[in-house]
Chains A and B, each alone.
Chain A
Amino acid sequence: MADGDESALAQLYDRLSHRVHTLAYWILKDADDAEDVVEETFWQAWRNAGEFNRNRAAASTWILMIARTRALDRLRARRRRAERTSQAGASTLLDSLDGNSYPAAQQPELTEPDRRLSEALGTLPLEQRQALELAFFAGLSHGEIADRTKQPLGTIKTRIRLAMEKLRERLSARASRSRD
């Protein structure tokens, strides 16, 4: 794709557009916005194809990270608009954040890594999972999550770190690394 081969873009789209759409939808909870994110994601991938390093990440990881960033940008813009409009808007925001929890996965056709990750998610303590969900789906910072959950900042940082470490351990042996 970095060589300007549009068929590579088409192939990538065929392979990943459903996953991008699904991710964008669960972040934004809006089908039209999710569709816009799909277009923006693949267009950004096309334009920045030269930045992709296959030695550092799989194409799917690269694309999904772009998609999540684009979706969260939209969500944050929506949040800012709601905050500007009124207190009622802020209430709506808090209500909508209640919806930012991980949906129950009922997918028999999960790939092996995804299945391991899904199982690992299920084993996370509730408070770790809640903190991770607010970070993953709403893109809230540590401080914002602490405000929202009324927990100390350090506690939130620890919860997110522990949750991610546990998922990393389950996901792959690639996580191990040696360091002197």
Chain B
Amino acid sequence: MTEPLTHTEVEPLLPAAALEILEGEELARLSAHLEDCTDCTRLLDVYRDVVAGLAGTLPEQPFHPARSERLRGRLVARTGRIPIADVPERRRRSPAAADRWIGWVVAAGLAGVLMVHHSFHRPVAYGWLAAGLLMLLLLGLGVYVRVQRTRMANLEDRLASLVQRTEDGATQP
């Protein structure tokens, strides 16, 4: 087993660690040291500030406002909480609301199973059997609708993304 690194050995490694260019054993030993050393972790954070600060000194690269805005919209949409104003009417039911129905659907399914089970006595209770089968049918229908809605939402997102990229390609010089 390799010897743990001392503070004196760790300190020269921290700049490279912040730049994320350490490899192999050096990286492993440094990581092991950092797990227990708040001082070195703090110093690593300072070097990370330097690395991030270097980004702040770069000449700004223009980010087309329309592209940036579309990307922002895509990100917010991906969070699963699309702003109501931006969502087509048919997709306005939130995932949380949809999920609330799952509990009722499962309850209906279980009730259906019980009804079908209850109907198998002699003589067969056709009323209970029909009700149970109907419940199971509704359960299957609910699951099917849920799956299709999810697929449709994913397809719409992909389509929107493709359309935006096509538009971007067309408008870019």
Contact = CB atoms under 8 A, between A and B. Distances in A.
Interface of A: 4, 6, 9-10, 13-14, 17-19, 21-23, 25-26, 31, 34-35, 38-39, 42-43, 46, 56-58, 60-61, 64-65, 67-69, 72, 102-107, 110-111, 113-115, 117-118, 121, 135-136, 139-143, 157, 160-161, 163-165, 167-168, 171-172, 174-175, 177, 179
A44 B51 CA distance: 19
Interface residues of B, number: 42
A19 B7 CA distance: 34
B79 A46 contact: yes
Interface string B4-33: 000100001001101111110000000000
25 contacts: A4-B79, A6-B76, A9-B79, A31-B61, A35-B63, A46-B75, A46-B78, A56-B41, A57-B45, A61-B49, A61-B52, A64-B52, A64-B56, A68-B20, A107-B60, A115-B57, A121-B54, A135-B16, A136-B54, A139-B19, A141-B22, A160-B19, A160-B21, A172-B49, A177-B39
Interface string B49-93: 111111111111101000110011011101101000000000000
A43 B16 contact: no
Contacts of A57: 45, 48-49
Given A39-B75, A114-B57, A175-B46, 7 more contacts: A17-B63, A22-B55, A60-B56, A113-B53, A135-B16, A139-B21, A141-B21
